[in-house]
Copies of this chain bind each other. A is one copy, B any other.
Amino acid sequence: MMRMPQRPYHHGDLRTALLDSAERTLRERGTAALSLRELARETGVSHAAPGRHFKDKQALLDALALTGYERLAQSLEAADDPALPLEPRLTALARAYLSFAVRNAALLELMYARKHDTDLSEQLTSAVDRSVGSFERLISDAQRRGEIVEGDSERITLVAAAGIQGLAAFTANGSLDPEVALAGVDEYVHHVLHGLKPR
């Protein structure tokens, strides 16, 4: 916890400090435990100070969601190797998403619960698009090579991504053991590509 004993009147980077503290609380004690006043206390600042940087609690949550999407997009981009054949490529991407979901369950919940009417929604939209983009690129690439059925690539991305999102949701709320989920990704991807009907 270690706080600087004599912080100067101006914090310096209160906004960042609040976001960091919020994310730690989120990870350690869940969404319900997140209070602006406690955040302020932990950061060694008056309870009214957060109001300078976030117009209200929702604004802080939105900012938190934004950093989440940015990190997710980055993880997905780092995990995507266009040189890989379709199935391992999709598997890697699915693994990256699921592993983000496992490591950031509460944050992901918050990311999906967003009420999109803030003034950072352009940034949010772009971060979301970046995340979806990795999947979309994979699908279009595969379609171009004839490795995936033709049709609206957005819809097909939805099919592929919906299942992974579902697995992530089952994992986040405890219906599915994280290790089982991660281990089962290969099987999942295989089923999605080959279908549940026998060939």
A192–B184 CB distance below 8 A = no
Count identical subunits in the complex: 2
B155–A196 CB distance below 8 A = no
Binds B, one of A14-22, A39-47, A69-77, A141-149: A141-149
A195 within 8 A of B: yes
* Cβ–Cβ < 8 Å partners of A161 in chain B: 166
Q: How far is the CA of A167 from the CA of B157 in the complex (A)?
A: 12
A169–B112 CB distance below 8 A = yes
A155–B184 CB distance below 8 A = yes
A198 to chain B, nearest CB (A): 5
Q: How far is the CA of A144 from the CA of B161 in the complex (A)?
A: 29
A196 is contacted by which of B109, B148, B167, B170 (Cβ under 8 Å)? B148
A96-121 residues with Cβ-Cβ distance < 8 A to B are: 109, 112-114, 116
